[in-house]
């Protein structure tokens, strides 16, 4: 990795009419991980990001606050990616970090936890229990094995083409072998503040918006915010257990905090325009969903018909289905924690892609 240099950078971030003063690495380290690409990027004096550039399912980002013994934010979706992340951050840190923050309970943010032996793992109070429900690596292994065996593959293809396609996609970049869940050890309710050599790190609970445990990590002095999956950048978001209202409130809070740099849970680094764009997407999808809901169309049909407009060029644009389905659940006053049938959900995403003639991506 090359040295660092401070320079005025037009907010990397298309369309922004303002500039921010940040320090960015001149050279960017890129390492191959199976088929995927990960890179290290410095985002402020003491903050770094490891970014997964493919930007599909499981391609989550990680953060590093290189102060006070080090804090890693989110630990990747499998051990190979976690090791690459450690290798990349290892170029700038003095030793393995003492703390890990999990921004929420999804596997792609917690499945490298076990490599941070002895570290304090911090998350919202709901996260350990939710991990047991939604981040069982055994389920992910089973899904991939199903795609490996001829008989189950044929069955899957006939019954759940979407589930088969997801398994195939994940197989390209990920292996869930060897993952042993390591649960958060320090739990908080609304807020948790770390003091790292005089630099405050604010962990703020904003869930349930995309998931139950959603937490954002804000460093006012560095003007940096790690958004977890409250922000997906240049790829369609997927929301599971949470509400549109909470999600939009969380985005409003990020805009109000006014950081110079945001590291999203998925996609490239951005400024607050990343939060604004996410909000515009959610507003648009909810409004469009309501039009079709009022006409009595099922959520899958609505998803096929919605004009994706500028969002059609995002990766995984077919994931619009999950957002339409969530809007429908809210219109029907279903409980926020109504379960998802994942195989059915992936099938619906697959059918939306087919209907729209766009790439099938999850
Ligand atoms: Zn994620």
What is the pLDDT at residue 146?
Answer: 72
Collapsed DSSP state (helix, strand, coil) of residue 229: strand
State the distance from the centre of ligand 1 to the C-alpha of 106, rounded, in angstroms. Answer: 6
What is the pLDDT at residue 248?
Answer: 98
State the distance from the centre of ligand 1 to the C-alpha of 300, rounded, in angstroms. Answer: 23
Contact (CB, 8 A) for 218 and 192 = no
Blockwise average pLDDT, block size 10, the chain, 362 residues: 32 31 39 66 97 92 97 97 95 94 97 97 98 93 78 73 88 92 98 97 97 98 98 94 97 98 97 97 97 98 96 95 97 94 92 93 92
State the distance from the centre of ligand 1 to the C-alpha of 7, rounded, in angstroms. Answer: 31
d(CA 172, CA 50): 20
d(CA 260, CA 181): 34
State the distance from the centre of ligand 1 to the C-alpha of 16, rounded, in angstroms. Answer: 25
Q: Cite the DSSP H helix spans in the chain.
A: 79-89, 107-110, 127-134, 137-148, 150-159, 161-173, 244-257, 272-294, 299-305, 320-331, 342-356
Chain centroid to CA 123: how far?
15
What is the pLDDT at residue 15?
Answer: 31
Paired sense of beta strands 199-205 and 191-196, if any: antiparallel
State the distance from the centre of ligand 1 to the C-alpha of 58, rounded, in angstroms. Answer: 6
State the distance from the centre of ligand 1 to the C-alpha of 59, rounded, in angstroms. Answer: 7
What is the pLDDT at residue 34?
Answer: 53
Q: What is the pTM of this model?
A: 0.89
State the distance from the centre of ligand 1 to the C-alpha of 229, rounded, in angstroms. Answer: 5
- The conformational region for residue 343 under phi > 0 = left, psi -120 to 50 = alpha, else beta, is alpha
State the distance from the centre of ligand 1 to the C-alpha of 347, rounded, in angstroms. Answer: 20
What is the pLDDT at residue 151?
Answer: 66
User: Quick one: how many helices (H) and strands (E) in the chain?
Assistant: 11, 15
- The conformational region for residue 217 under phi > 0 = left, psi -120 to 50 = alpha, else beta, is beta
State the distance from the centre of ligand 1 to the C-alpha of 295, rounded, in angstroms. Answer: 33
State the distance from the centre of ligand 1 to the C-alpha of 25, rounded, in angstroms. Answer: 25
State the distance from the centre of ligand 1 to the C-alpha of 238, rounded, in angstroms. Answer: 8
What is the pLDDT at residue 163?
Answer: 85
What is the pLDDT at residue 156?
Answer: 72
């Amino acid at each position: 990795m090359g040295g660092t240099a401070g320079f005025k950078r037009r907010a990397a971030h298309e369309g922004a009419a303002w500039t921010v003063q940040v320090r960015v690495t001149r050279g960017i380290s890129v390492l191959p991980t199976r088929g995927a690409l990960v890179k290290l990027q410095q985002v402020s004096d003491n903050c770094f990001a490891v970014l997964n550039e493919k930007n599909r399912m499981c391609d989550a980002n990680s953060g590093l606050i290189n102060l006070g013994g080090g804090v890693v934010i989110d630990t990747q979706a499998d051990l190979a990616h976690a090791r690459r992340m450690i290798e990349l951050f290892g170029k700038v840190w003095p030793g393995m970090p003492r703390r890990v923050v999990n921004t929420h309970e999804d596997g792609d943010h917690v499945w490298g936890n076990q490599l941070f032996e002895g570290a304090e793992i911090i998350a919202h109070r709901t996260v350990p229990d939710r991990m047991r429900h939604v981040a069982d690596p055994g389920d992910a292994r089973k899904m991939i094995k199903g795609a490996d065996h001829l008989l189950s593959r044929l069955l899957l293809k006939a019954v759940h083409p979407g589930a088969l396609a997801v398994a195939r996609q994940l197989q390209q970049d990920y292996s869930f072998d060897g993952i042993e869940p390591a649960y958060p050890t320090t739990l908080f309710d609304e807020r948790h503040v770390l003091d790292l050599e005089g630099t405050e790190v604010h962990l703020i609970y904003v869930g349930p918006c995309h998931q139950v445990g959603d937490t954002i990590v804000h460093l006012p002095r560095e003007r940096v915010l790690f958004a977890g999956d409250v922000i997906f950048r240049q790829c369609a978001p997927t929301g599971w257990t949470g509400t549109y209202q909470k999600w939009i409130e969380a985005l409003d809070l990020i805009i109000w905090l006014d950081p110079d740099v945001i590291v999203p849970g998925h996609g490239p680094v951005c400024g607050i325009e990343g939060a604004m764009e996410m909000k515009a997407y959610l507003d648009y999808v909810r409004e469009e969903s309501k039009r079709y809901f009022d006409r009595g169309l099922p959520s899958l049909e609505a998803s096929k018909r919605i004009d994706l407009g500028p969002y059609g060029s995002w990766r995984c644009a077919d994931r619009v289905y999950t957002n339409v389905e969530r809007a429908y659940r809210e219109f029907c006053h279903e409980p926020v924690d109504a379960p998802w049938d994942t195989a059915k959900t992936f099938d619906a995403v697959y059918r939306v892609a087919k209907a729209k003639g766009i790439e099938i991506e999850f």
